């Protein structure tokens, strides 16, 4: 997870986007393909940055990781324009896009990757004013990949 953030941070800085992280001290392990989970995070960070290209004012992304009820929760929030409520059901459909040059594959692939890890991904309003993507992946007992 931290590698995905590190890979994206330079690009975000160049775009004038502030990146804040909040990782809980005690996160249980999950059995996951780390590279696939990193790809999901990179995609969400990239989408957030693209959404804020035309946004004036404070441009911020927050990434938080916590544990709740037997799951690891990852939230990626931004201060962009958000996702209209009427589009939230379709945003994860293959080939659905809101971007003029988008393919509509990224979020669909993210959902498939998270589902392959017995998890869920949802979008809602962010406290920052934009979108908040919430990923829930079941925690595993014993050792796993973080």
Query: Any idea which residue has 């979020």 for tokens?
Result: 107
How far is 112 from 92, CA to CA, in rounded Å?
A: 9
pLDDT, tens only, 9-52: 999 999 999 999 999 998 999 989 999 999 999 999 999 999 99
**Cβ contact 133:121 at 8 Å:** yes
Q: What is the mean pLDDT of residues 62-71?
A: 95
Q: What is the mean pLDDT of residues 54-83?
A: 94
Does the domain at 2-138 match CATH 3.30.565.10? Answer given as yes
| pTM for the full predicted model | 0.89
pLDDT of residue 145: 45
User: Nearest CA to 139 among 66, 69, 71, 73?
Assistant: 71
pLDDT, tens only, 88-129: 989 998 877 776 666 668 999 999 999 999 999 999 999 999
């Amino acid at each position: 997870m931290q590698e995905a953030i590190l890979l994206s941070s330079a690009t975000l800085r160049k775009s004038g986007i502030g990146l804040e992280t909040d990782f809980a001290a005690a996160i249980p392990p999950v059995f996951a393909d780390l590279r696939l989970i990193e790809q999901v995070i990179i995609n969400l960070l990239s989408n957030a940055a693209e959404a804020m290209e035309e946004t004036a004012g404070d441009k911020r992304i927050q990434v938080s990781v916590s544990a709740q009820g037997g799951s690891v929760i990852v939230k990626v929030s931004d201060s962009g324009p958000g996702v209209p409520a009427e589009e939230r059901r379709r945003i994860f459909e293959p080939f659905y896009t809101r971007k003029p040059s988008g393919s509509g594959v990224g979020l669909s692939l993210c959902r498939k990757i998270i589902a392959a890890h017995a998890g869920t991904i949802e979008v809602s309003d962010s406290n920052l004013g934009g979108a908040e993507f919430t990923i829930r992946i079941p925690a595993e007992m014993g050792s796993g990949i973080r």
